[in-house]
Amino acid sequence: TWTTGNVIEEQVERIREQVGEGTAICALSGGVDSAVAAALVQRAIGDRLTCVYVNHGLMRQDESAQIEKAFGESTGGAKLVVVDAEDQFLQALAGVTDPEQKRKIIGREFIRTFERAQAEILRERGLVEDEAGGGTHTTSEDATAFLVQGTLYPDVVESGGGEGAANIKSHHNVGGLPEDLSFELVEPLRTLFKDEVRAVGSELGLPDEIVWRQPFPGPGLGIRIIGEVTRERLDVLRRADAIARAELTAAGLDREIWQCPVVLLADVRSVGVQGDGRTYGHPIVLRPVTSDDAMTADWAKVPYEVLGRISTRITNEVPEINRVVLDVTSKPPGTIEWE
Ligand code: XMP
């Protein structure tokens, strides 16, 4: 029978078998999935786990600082390395507008960043030596590179990995992985749904703040800007998103709503009027949904007063935005994210 206790015991055992005496790094995103995966691996192999948080510059306002702060509590005291990779990701995304291409680029840059972090960690542990030519030489079998990811069952299915499933979109940690992957993957949540992961997280003693955190996609705001991703556009989206989140939280809707992507239609402009002046700004889309597992979703019936406050505040406080639009599409036919 399925109990969280059984899942924990079974996965810890499996991880020990797979990793042996090796070391692993865990790709931490700040969300519940990677935190639970890290906590399981921490139980299994202790301080041979290092967590790596990559700030790819596609996070929401203040998010990176919050994640660093919440980290210690949420993973049972594992080590954390923070990599600042904003320039690297933005350069790689320059000029790219196709959603699948964005996802693959982000997946690839994540892996490259983890490879560099792993090399650094192994060097610190004395498991590799630098060679004269600039390469590295492995001095121990324990240097096998294990990468822990919080991949869930729906990620696998929707990336085309499940039986008979079509590739709807390449999740950054599944279909978005490069082909020459130099890591062996450890994915203890690969058969679980989100509600199950939350139950396991609670059982492992993770704080509610992490366990009940709304989903946020690994590719971050990169797939919420329709069009090219630039620093300026990210800045606009961040300001609008922070307002929407603050108002939804203030209205007490965080648990009721599964998540609310805020999407910038960066290549669309419309005419508006503010004061005496004409504006020619961008629309922003609110996409609040309810869901149990993200495989299907319904558009959330957020009270008009709350929507009104969000709209007024965004158009007052973010001058680049002159129109706020509500997405009233279920999944299917619409996916939750726009890209
Ligand atoms: P869609 O847009 O496919 O999203 O309906 C379903 C759920 O998955 C999240 N999502 C992702 N999560 N990496 C992630 O970690 C990804 O590449 C990714 N793409 C979508 C999305 O936010 C929603 O919760």
pLDDT at res. 141 = 55
Does the beta carbon of 172 sit less than 6 angstroms from any atom of ligand 1? yes
206 and 228 in a single domain? The answer is no
Domain containing 112: what range?
4-211
Whether residue 251 lies inside any domain: the answer is yes
What separation in Å is there between the alpha carbon of 7 and the centre of ligand 1?
A: 24
What separation in Å is there between the alpha carbon of 126 and the centre of ligand 1?
A: 38
Query: Which CATH number is 249's domain given?
Result: 3.30.300.10
pLDDT at res. 83 = 96
Ranges under pLDDT 50 in the chain:
none
ipTM above threshold 0.90: yes
Q: Residue 263: phi, psi to the nearest 5?
A: -120, 130
pLDDT at res. 174 = 87
Nearest CA to ligand 1 atom 10: 217
Question: What span, in angstroms and rounded, lies between the C-alpha atoms of 219 and 29?
Answer: 10
Give pLDDT tens digits for 88-147: 999 999 999 999 999 999 999 999 999 999 999 888 888 776 666 666 666 555 567 899
The answer to whether 29 is a known ligand-binding residue is yes
Query: Which CATH number is 61's domain given?
Result: 3.40.50.620
Does the beta carbon of 335 sit less than 6 angstroms from any atom of ligand 1? yes
Question: Which mutation among 108, 171, 173, 224 tests ligand 1's pocket best, with the greatest number of atoms within 8 A of CB?
Answer: 171
The answer to whether 35 is a known ligand-binding residue is yes
147 and 271 in a single domain? The answer is no
Does the beta carbon of 158 sit less than 6 angstroms from any atom of ligand 1? yes
206 and 73 in a single domain? The answer is yes
Strands (E), the chain: 23-28, 49-55, 79-84, 128-130, 136-138, 145-148, 184-186, 225-226, 262-265, 270-274, 277-286, 289-290, 298-299, 321-326
Q: Dihedral sign for Cα 234, 93, 218, 159, please.
A: positive
pLDDT at res. 143 = 62
Index of the ligand 1 atom closest to the CA of residue 31: 15
Instruction: Say if CB 209 and CB 70 are below 8 A apart.
Output: yes
pLDDT at res. 167 = 81
pLDDT at res. 265 = 98
Question: What span, in angstroms and rounded, lies between the C-alpha atoms of 205 and 211?
Answer: 9
114 and 257 in a single domain? The answer is no
Number of domains in the chain: 2
The answer to whether 30 is a known ligand-binding residue is yes
pLDDT at res. 137 = 61
Does the beta carbon of 245 sit less than 6 angstroms from any atom of ligand 1? no
Nearest CA to ligand 1 atom 11: 217
Question: What span, in angstroms and rounded, lies between the C-alpha atoms of 321 and 311?
Answer: 10
Whether residue 338 lies inside any domain: the answer is no
pLDDT at res. 74 = 65
